[in-house]
Amino acid sequence: MEDLKRELQANVESWVSNNFNYQRLEVFSKMADESLFEYIRQLEYHLMDFIEDYGYVQELENWLAENYHNKDDRDSYLVLSFIEATDYQRELEDWKDHTSNENYPMWNTLFEFRNEHGEEVTEKCVEAGFGVIEGMEDFNTTLFVSGAGYSFYAQHWIPLWLSLPYTDNEKYKNIDFSDL
């Protein structure tokens, strides 16, 4: 297993080196006339994320029961009705603002695709926790990380590589790479 883990790490490191240009955040910011935020793909908001982040799960379940709904029935319409009925709209807006503000490069290094790819790959990047910069005239789609204090390979690059349809991911499916 240890040999497979090292092989996985080497394959992913090679893939990253061969498929990405390392760019400086300052260059992108300058090219965007200090408005880089306008080129960052915004995250989709899921109302249940707000409910969970603010600890309103039990309150939502109680509200659903009081209003004759199944406590597991958490479609967007019902959750939004709960938010409106409980006057949590302000907290929701604050949460959206906070979430948007965190969707910005934390590090100076950005990862520009050397060759453009399809939307499916970009979606896989987002699922792996990368932020996406797109639509800048002189650059291909570019990835960034908005977190710190952990291994980017274990948290982002390896899960991304394993999720791509053209990788030999079955071979590594039982590998614990969290310590890489």
- Answer yes or no: do 67 and 155 share one domain: no
49-65 pLDDT, tens digit each: 788 878 888 888 888 88
Indicate the pLDDT class of residue 71, thresholds 50, 70 and 90.
low
Looking at the DSSP assignment, which residues form a beta bridge with residue 112? 21, 142
- Answer yes or no: do 6 and 94 share one domain: no
- Answer yes or no: do 114 and 26 share one domain: yes
- Answer yes or no: do 167 and 111 share one domain: yes
Structure tokens at 22: 């390392």
Tabulate helix, strand, coil % of the chain (nearest 5). Answer: 50, 10, 40
Has residue 6 been placed in a domain?
yes
Range of the domain at 66: 47-100
Indicate the pLDDT class of residue 114, thresholds 50, 70 and 90.
very high
Check residue 58 and give its pLDDT.
87
- Res 74 pLDDT > 90: no
- Answer yes or no: do 113 and 37 share one domain: yes
Check residue 132 and give its pLDDT.
93
Which residues, other chains included, contact 29 with Cβ-Cβ below 8 Å and sequence gap of 6+? 36
148-179 pLDDT, tens digit each: 788 888 999 999 999 988 887 788 878 888 78
Check residue 100 and give its pLDDT.
62
Contact 64, 73 (CB under 8 A): yes
18-47 pLDDT, tens digit each: 999 999 999 998 988 888 878 888 777 678
Which one of 60, 78, 100 terminates a domain?
Answer: 100
Q: What is the mean pLDDT of the chain?
A: 85
Check residue 9 and give its pLDDT.
92
Q: Could you give the CA distance from residue 77 to residue 66 in angstroms, rounded to a whole number?
A: 16
Higher pLDDT, 142 or 97: 142
Determine the residue type at 14: S
Check residue 101 and give its pLDDT.
60
- Answer yes or no: do 93 and 168 share one domain: no
Of the candidates 104, 124, 115, the residue with the CA atom closest to the CA atom of residue 28 = 104
Check residue 39 and give its pLDDT.
87
Has residue 178 been placed in a domain?
no
Has residue 177 been placed in a domain?
no
Indicate the pLDDT class of residue 117, thresholds 50, 70 and 90.
confident
Looking at the DSSP assignment, which residues form a beta bridge with residue 144? 131
- Answer yes or no: do 119 and 38 share one domain: yes
**Number of folded domains that form the chain:** 2
- Answer yes or no: do 165 and 110 share one domain: yes
